[in-house]
């Protein structure tokens, strides 16, 4: 007897990384298929200050629901629809 095969498909998100801006990130972005448990899209800006220098990292990609709840909300946006992590960071 053959058992049916179920394929769990996640959503698709944009993925990119830049040290300059979201606009620069978007010039390098690609579409990726997220896999469980990473079933949300993410847009995140991280900034670090070292003495007088400030460095920012702009990232888009896949993330799990648990990580969305645990992260600092002011530095990231999570969404649950396909290709929803577009545009710049809205804060």
Question: Over the stretch 39-74, which tens digit does the pLDDT of each residue have?
Answer: 999 999 888 877 777 788 999 999 999 988 876 656
Q: Round to whole Å and give the CA distance between 42 and 15.
A: 9
pTM: 0.78
Query: CB-side exposure of 24: number of CA atoms within 13 Å?
Result: 10
> Six-digit token pair at 35?
């896999």
């Amino acid at each position: 007897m053959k058992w049916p095969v179920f394929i769990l498909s996640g959503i698709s998100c944009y993925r990119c990384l830049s040290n300059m801006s979201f606009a620069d990130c978007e010039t390098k972005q690609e579409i990726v298929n997220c896999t469980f448990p990473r079933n949300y899209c993410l847009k995140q800006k991280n900034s670090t200050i070292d003495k007088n220098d400030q460095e920012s990292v702009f990232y888009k990609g896949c993330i799990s629901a648990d990580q969305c709840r645990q992260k600092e909300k002011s530095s990231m946006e999570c969404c649950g629809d396909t290709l929803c992590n577009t545009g710049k960071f809205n804060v």
